[in-house]
Amino acid sequence: MRAIWLIASLTLKETMRRRLWVASLLASLAVVGFVFVAKLGASVRANDPIVQSVVPRITLILGLDVVKFFGSVLAMTLASGAIALEIERGMLYAVLYKPIRRYQVVLGKWIGVLVFALSNTLFWAVLLHVSVWLMMGRTYLETWRAPLVVLLYPVLFGTLTLLFSTFASMGLTIALSIISAGVAWSEKPMREFGIVFDIETLLQVANNVRWIIPMNHLRRWVLDQMLVIVPERMLASQRFQAFENPPSGWEIGYVFGYIVAALVLAVLVFGKRDV
């Protein structure tokens, strides 16, 4: 257990000293800027009560998308170098011969990467809510669960990237993690196109993709937590009803199982490979 915490704290310390907090600061500015731009847009129709009611809610919903994106990218960036880069640079040679097990290295890296990524993601989500409150005078405390579900995005993509990092080179790890994120993000447009243009094959592909990288379940879960503030018009639309049904308990379980399986696979692969 001590080895896991030592490696996790070293990973965290290195991350802080690499000044990744500068990137975190820039992302914070982007979140605040996003809310500011939305407020500017709403101020054009300051007397329209519908606009004043809808814009803060849409800002929060879309703002969480921004937070998801930054959180996922941060976790992927950190995880891609966690093992692959340390092998390429020879850093792990002086670590692996110590009286520790390889799974402790993987778990230590996983914890170190996720502590940084999750604390930042949570901070951005809170910052988003605070910005909406300060700039638009609205609070939506009833959606407090949504940011917690958003935290699963960096966990999902960070774990997947760490898995790639256990067997691929740094460059290949980055490529694989970008491809997997791209595949996951393409699921929604594929489904929409499939329905709009009635292309059965596209719908089947989209159905498969949601199981290969289960981001869709997470997206619908986040939205489910935000449902109380989703504007009525949006709720009533056919497209919304077609795509955004809340995930079943089984689907949520699948997401957790997927993350655990990716982590276990990372441990097994790293345990069996030559370093």
The residues that touch other proteins, with contacts defined as CB under 8 A, are 2-3, 6, 10, 13-14, 17-18, 89-91, 93-100, 272, 274-275
Which among 100, 95, 101, 266 has a CA at the least distance from the CA of 168? 266
- C-beta of 105 vs 125, nearer to other proteins: 105
Contact 209, 184 (CB under 8 A): yes
- C-beta of 101 vs 233, nearer to other proteins: 101
Contact 269, 163 (CB under 8 A): yes
Contact 202, 193 (CB under 8 A): yes
The residue whose two tokens read 């699948």 is: 254
Q: How far is the CB of 90 from other proteins (least distance, A)?
A: 4
In whole angstroms, give the CA distance from residue 187 to residue 212.
10
Contact 120, 71 (CB under 8 A): yes
- C-beta of 17 vs 201, nearer to other proteins: 17
- C-beta of 239 vs 272, nearer to other proteins: 272
Contact 158, 75 (CB under 8 A): yes
- C-beta of 68 vs 102, nearer to other proteins: 102
Q: How far is the CB of 97 from other proteins (least distance, A)?
A: 4
Q: How far is the CB of 87 from other proteins (least distance, A)?
A: 10
Q: How far is the CB of 3 from other proteins (least distance, A)?
A: 6
In whole angstroms, give the CA distance from residue 234 to residue 256.
29
In whole angstroms, give the CA distance from residue 104 to residue 8.
10
Contact 35, 59 (CB under 8 A): yes
Q: How far is the CB of 27 from other proteins (least distance, A)?
A: 22
Q: How far is the CB of 33 from other proteins (least distance, A)?
A: 30
Residue 111 has a CB neighbour count (10 Å cut-off) of 17
Q: How far is the CB of 109 from other proteins (least distance, A)?
A: 13
- C-beta of 18 vs 233, nearer to other proteins: 18
85-98 b/e with 16+ CB inside 10 Å = b? ebbeeeebeebeee
- C-beta of 95 vs 160, nearer to other proteins: 95
Positive or negative, the Cα torsion across 90, 95, 96, 101? negative
